[in-house]
Structure 1
């Protein structure tokens, strides 16, 4: 859903105060147990360089789209894990700049980060946005040698509408879904997914403006399309592991979305973890996401360990 900075500040004061009051207050469902690689074993504070505004779409694409690539300065020639990051904005706006602080933190921890843009509704209707990400995912593999990326350790990370697209990409890759053709394929999936404030089932809302302009109609008019555009509809037993985080007071993407998604993943035997950000709404969960980032880094270290770890 859209993330908008609104003025005056007084309108945000209750949300900000609640975030301060509940800072560090989280509930971790399916928290890992036993011997785990502690965070201090991961690289920290690595230098990195950024290659900005690389066009990843082919020359005949309806709109040229760019990505920023964060390349950590790691020693030797060992292959490195990567994360494709996708911003939110209600499928209609914002930019990949929203993900820049997250990209920097992950690059300092040794991840090659590919922070991508995608086309917006209503000019471009779904599945245009998913097709963009499918092309971006192929592009990462095409440059894996140049960036020293381990193609078996590529994760997806998104928030809000970006989380919807990342989750959908992970779940339809290599399946018989109509959404996987013609731009997808088994190599457009992920080894793990970090998904925050996820619109997992578009059918759980009334068809508001954002969904109508994305889907070119209401759910009543296009029920099959709404189902197929929902990540929960595509859950299967071979889904990658998911780390979900969600604000318990989210009134834009209600907590029911996270609960429904987690239950669907678990019902098919998949590994899923859920971090509730207690007392936080949709926007404050993103603005004050530090604990979720830390948990996500630990999750990726467990789910995408180095070959010799």
Structure 2
């Protein structure tokens, strides 16, 4: 091989390695053994409108909270699937703007998307954040007719702390858990859940600053509270189907969180899929999540088919 070609390859190699790391490859645990039928797929490039900054909390709520509602431009009166999206940020910050690109992709596929905010620690301790989402979920029910939402096809999508909250809401809905009352109930859950970088078991970490300010103490001081705030603690045989995605190099929410959550859901006979984002950490999994979004869209099409679609 000519010397100049070797030199060119040498210069390109680092860039190629970086591209390979970012685009990565994935490992799909419990991958579906069939494609999504065309009759179950949503359109790919619908027009839509956004109704921004809608207050979803009641007047007496400790803090007014808003949501952005994405409405696809679909014809007819048929009911549409919906997704409630919840951002991450360590329970202490960030905003629903982080989820805007995901919301835009999903609404173009025919989903009504409700992108919500919630209260932050340490000003508001757990379970304030869960209460916010329960109220938001009921707010969707209250507007189902207005937005032409199918109440039987409402999913949850969260990343990081948002995934923790979405998963917890889904698992306690309609149960005898104290976390379900008084704002939850059987109609406050989800038909399916997409959960990325999920802190599934708060007891698997040392009690760092984020958890201490969320839980108002360490695990040693509040072991029962830490258990009850963990989605894995509430897994039961009637859980909705879960699609998990997680970075294999995640050192903020370690991969063992996804492994433990997968095993707990499987042990109770629930349907769960896990997409490993190989070679990615917590932030890069979110930033370069395209393949996870695609797999999640197919997952929702399989698990929340329209009434006239193949099961």
TM-score when scaled to structure 2?
0.93
* SS, match of residue 76 in structure 1: coil
How far apart, CA to CA, are the structure 2 residues paired with 1:221 and 1:80? 46
1:23 deviates by: 1.2
1:221 deviates by: 0.1
Match of residue 289 from structure 2: 289
CA contact (8 A) 1:19 1:280 kept: no
Match of residue 190 from structure 1: 190
CA contact (8 A) 2:40 2:301 kept: no
* SS, match of residue 23 in structure 2: coil
Match of residue 159 from structure 1: 159
Match of residue 109 from structure 1: 109
Match of residue 250 from structure 1: 250
CA contact (8 A) 2:40 2:306 kept: no
1:35 deviates by: 5.1
1:76 deviates by: 0.6
Matches within 5 A, 1:4-23: 18=18, 20-23=20-23
Match of residue 70 from structure 1: 70
How far apart, CA to CA, are the structure 1 residues paired with 2:42 and 2:139? 27
The Cα offsets for residues 3-60 of structure 1, whole Å up to 9 and x where unpaired, read as xxxxxxxxxxx9x975643514000000000353259943110000000000000000
CA contact (8 A) 1:38 1:298 kept: no
In structure 2, the gaps of 5 or more residues are 1-13
Match of residue 263 from structure 1: 263
How far apart, CA to CA, are the structure 1 residues paired with 2:208 and 2:21? 32
- 2:27 aligned with 1:27, yes or no? yes
In structure 1, the gaps of 5 or more residues are 1-13
The structure whose Rg is larger is 2
Match of residue 36 from structure 2: 36
Match of residue 91 from structure 2: 91
How far apart, CA to CA, are the structure 2 residues paired with 1:17 and 1:226? 41
CA contact (8 A) 2:248 2:281 kept: yes
The Cα offsets for residues 160-209 of structure 1, whole Å up to 9 and x where unpaired, read as 00000000000000000010011111111000000000000000000000
How far apart, CA to CA, are the structure 2 residues paired with 1:247 and 1:269? 25
User: Measured at CA, do residues 202 and 17 of structure 1 come closer, stay the same or move farther in structure 2, by a change above 3 Å?
Assistant: farther
Pairwise CA RMSD:
1.5
* SS, match of residue 27 in structure 2: strand
CA contact (8 A) 1:68 1:116 kept: yes
Give every structure 1 segment of 4 or more consecutive aligned residues whose post-TM-superposition deviation is greater than 3 Å: 16-20, 38-41
CA contact (8 A) 1:18 1:279 kept: no
